[in-house]
Amino acid sequence: MAEEGKNQGDQGETPEERGAELSPPPELMEAIPEEMRPRLRKAFHSMEMSASFPARHPLVDKLNSQHIDKIIDYSEQDDIRQADTQRSGRRYMFAAFIVLACIFVGLLIFFQRSGATDQVVNLIIGVLSLAGGFGLGRYFQRERS
């Protein structure tokens, strides 16, 4: 009895010393169906392996204030780069919109002067359909992220 209490309460043992503790008890193995036994053994093995490795990365102990300052500086530079990328993307989209709007207005004027009003109606329907599909796609893209 005293030995059992010592083994359960002693947290300073190495995984090798407590290796027998992490194997499934024979009563449990008998109660489990034959096809589930390999899974149980693997689970106990993975628990043993995770207990034997440190939870922290070894480089964490070597970090000092200079490293942290560098990480913060790099993070700030990355934020600035991301903002510049977003800004240039907005400029590109605005320029593309202006070009497409000019083409659309030019086509409207051309078809209006030539007297082809049904082409004007088809053009307006096509552009509105395109804009609606683009807007719906942007909406769903924004909802996913």
Q: What is the pLDDT of residues 107-140, one digit of tens each?
A: 888 888 888 888 888 888 888 888 888 888 888 8
User: Helix H segments across the chain?
Assistant: 2-9, 26-31, 37-52, 65-114, 117-144
d(CA 84, CA 27): 64
Specify the higher pLDDT residue, 60 or 42.
Answer: 42
Q: What is the pLDDT of residue 55?
A: 65
Q: What is the pLDDT of residue 87?
A: 93
> Dihedral sign, CA of 13, 18, 19, 22?
negative
Residue 145 has pLDDT above 80, yes or no: no
Domain ranges of the chain: 18-53, 59-144
Q: What is the pLDDT of residue 63?
A: 81
Least confident span in 5-19, 43-57, 78-92: 5-19
Q: How far is CA 25 from CA 5, 21, 29, 37, in A?
A: 17, 8, 6, 12
Structure confidence by residue, pLDDT tens digits, 1-44: 444 444 444 445 554 454 445 667 778 778 888 888 888 888 87
> 106: buried, middle or exposed (CB in 10 Å: 19+, 13-18, 0-12)?
exposed
d(CA 72, CA 75): 5
Q: What is the pLDDT of residue 5?
A: 43
* Mean pLDDT on 75-79: 93
Q: What is the pLDDT of residue 91?
A: 94
Can you give the pTM of this predicted structure? 0.43
Q: What are the backbone dihedrals phi and psi of residue 10, each rounded to the nearest 5 degrees, phi first?
A: -80, 110
CA 132-138-140 angle, to 5 degrees, is 100
